Chain A
Amino acid sequence: MSASTFGSGIRRREDPRLITGSASYTDDITLPGTLHAALLRSPYAHARINGIDTSQAASAQGVVAVYIGADTEGEIAPSPCAWLLPDSGLTIADYHCVARDTVRYVGDIVAVVVAETRHEAYDALDLIEVDYDPLDAVVEPKKAAADGAPQLHAEIAGNQAFHWTVTGGGDIDEAFSQADVVVKETIIQQRLIPNAMEPRATLASYTAATGELTVWNTTQNPHILRFLSSLVIGVPEDRLRVIAPEVGGGFGSKIAAYPADFITMFCSKKLGAPVKWVESRSENYQATTHGRDHVQEIELAATADGKIKGLRATVWAGMGAYLSTAAPGIPTILHGLMLSGVYDIPAIHEDVYGLYTNTTPVEAYRGAGRPEATFMVERLVDLLAAKLGLDPAEVRRRNFIPKFDDGHDVVTGLTYDSGNYDGALSKLLAEADYQQLRAEQAEARKNGRYIGLGLSTYVEICGLGPSQVAGAIGFQGGLWESAIVRFHPSGKVHVMIGASPHGQGEETTFAQIIAGELGVSPDDVKVIHGDTDNTPMGWGTYGSRTTAVGGAALALAARKIRDKAKVIAAHLLEAAVEDMDYDDGKFFVKGSPDSSKTIQDIALMANVAWNMPEGVEAGLEATTFYDPPNFVFPYGAHLAVVEVDAESGNVELKRYVAVDDCGPQINPVIVEGQVHGGIVQGIGQALWEEGVYDDDGQLLTGTMLDYALPRADRLPDIEVHSTVTPSPHHPLGVKGIGEAGTIASTAAVYNAVIDALAPLGVEAVNMPLTPERVWRSIQAAQGRN
Chain B
Amino acid sequence: MTIPVSITVNGRRYDREVEPRLLLVHFIRDVLGLTGTKVGCDTSQCGSCTILLDGVSAKACTCLAVQADGASVTTIEGLAGDSELHPLQESFWNKHGLQCGYCTPGMILASHELLRCNADPSAEEIRHGLEGNMCRCTGYQNIVRAVRDAAETMQGGTS
A→B interface (CB under 8 Å)? 9, 11-12, 14-25, 27-28, 30, 118-119, 194-199, 246-249, 251, 280-282, 502-505, 669-670, 672-674, 676-681, 703-705, 709-713, 715, 717-718
Candidates B38, B75, B131; contact of A711 at CB < 8 Å: B131
1/0 contact trace for B123-159 toward A, CB 8 Å?
Answer: 1001110110111111111111000000000000000
Kindly specify which of B52-60, B64-72, B99-107 makes contact with the partner chain.
Answer: B99-107
- Nearest Cβ on chain A to B73's Cβ, whole angstroms: 13
Of all chain A residues, the one with the shortest Cβ separation from B21 is A119
CB-CB under 8 A from A194, the residues of chain B are 136
> Is B98 part of the contact surface with A, judged by Cβ < 8 Å?
yes
Alpha-carbon distance A118/B131, docked complex (angstroms):
31
Cross-chain contact B45 with A704 (CB below 8 angstroms): yes
Cross-chain contact B139 with A679 (CB below 8 angstroms): yes
Of all chain B residues, the one with the shortest Cβ separation from A678 is B139
Alpha-carbon distance A715/B36, docked complex (angstroms):
28
CB-CB under 8 A from B105, the residues of chain A are 19, 21
Cross-chain contact A503 with B101 (CB below 8 angstroms): yes
Candidates B33, B38, B46, B93; contact of A12 at CB < 8 Å: B93
Cross-chain contact B102 with A25 (CB below 8 angstroms): yes
Candidates A28, A502, A673, A704; contact of B43 at CB < 8 Å: A704
Alpha-carbon distance A710/B139, docked complex (angstroms):
8
CB-CB under 8 A from A119, the residues of chain B are 19, 21
Cross-chain contact B134 with A197 (CB below 8 angstroms): yes
Alpha-carbon distance A17/B76, docked complex (angstroms):
11
Known A-B contacts A19-B85, A248-B102; the reply to A673 vs B138 at CB < 8 A is yes
Known A-B contacts A21-B37, A21-B77; the reply to A715 vs B139 at CB < 8 A is yes
> Is B119 part of the contact surface with A, judged by Cβ < 8 Å?
no
Of all chain A residues, the one with the shortest Cβ separation from B86 is A19
Candidates B42, B89, B103; contact of A197 at CB < 8 Å: B103
> Is B92 part of the contact surface with A, judged by Cβ < 8 Å?
yes
Cross-chain contact A712 with B140 (CB below 8 angstroms): yes
- Nearest Cβ on chain A to B132's Cβ, whole angstroms: 8
CB-CB under 8 A from A249, the residues of chain B are 99-100, 102, 136-137
- Nearest Cβ on chain A to B141's Cβ, whole angstroms: 5
Of all chain B residues, the one with the shortest Cβ separation from A117 is B30
The interface on chain B, measured as residues whose beta carbon lies within 8 A of the other chain's beta carbons, has a size of 55
Q: Is the interface of B mostly helix, strand, loop or mixed?
A: loop
Candidates B21, B29, B139; contact of A677 at CB < 8 Å: B139
CB-CB under 8 A from B123, the residues of chain A are 717
Cross-chain contact B99 with A673 (CB below 8 angstroms): yes
- Nearest Cβ on chain A to B111's Cβ, whole angstroms: 11
CB-CB under 8 A from B43, the residues of chain A are 281-282, 703-705
- Nearest Cβ on chain B to A687's Cβ, whole angstroms: 14
Candidates B80, B140, B142; contact of A715 at CB < 8 Å: B140
Known A-B contacts A673-B99, A703-B42, A713-B131; the reply to A21 vs B36 at CB < 8 A is yes
Cross-chain contact B108 with A197 (CB below 8 angstroms): no
Known A-B contacts A19-B104, A249-B102; the reply to A196 vs B139 at CB < 8 A is no
Which 7 A-B pairs have CB atoms at the shortest separation, nearest pair first?
Answer: A21-B36, A248-B102, A503-B100, A18-B101, A680-B139, A676-B139, A21-B76
Cross-chain contact A20 with B42 (CB below 8 angstroms): no
> Is B32 part of the contact surface with A, judged by Cβ < 8 Å?
no
Alpha-carbon distance A120/B159, docked complex (angstroms):
52
> Is B115 part of the contact surface with A, judged by Cβ < 8 Å?
no
Alpha-carbon distance A412/B36, docked complex (angstroms):
48
Cross-chain contact A712 with B96 (CB below 8 angstroms): no
Alpha-carbon distance A248/B123, docked complex (angstroms):
26
Candidates A24, A27, A669; contact of B96 at CB < 8 Å: A669
CB-CB under 8 A from B35, the residues of chain A are 21, 24-25, 27-28
CB-CB under 8 A from B135, the residues of chain A are 197, 712
Given contacts A19-B93, A677-B99, 19 further A-B contacts (CB under 8 A): A11-B96, A15-B101, A19-B108, A21-B34, A21-B35, A27-B35, A281-B41, A281-B43, A282-B43, A670-B96, A673-B138, A680-B139, A681-B136, A705-B43, A712-B130, A712-B131, A712-B135, A712-B143, A718-B141
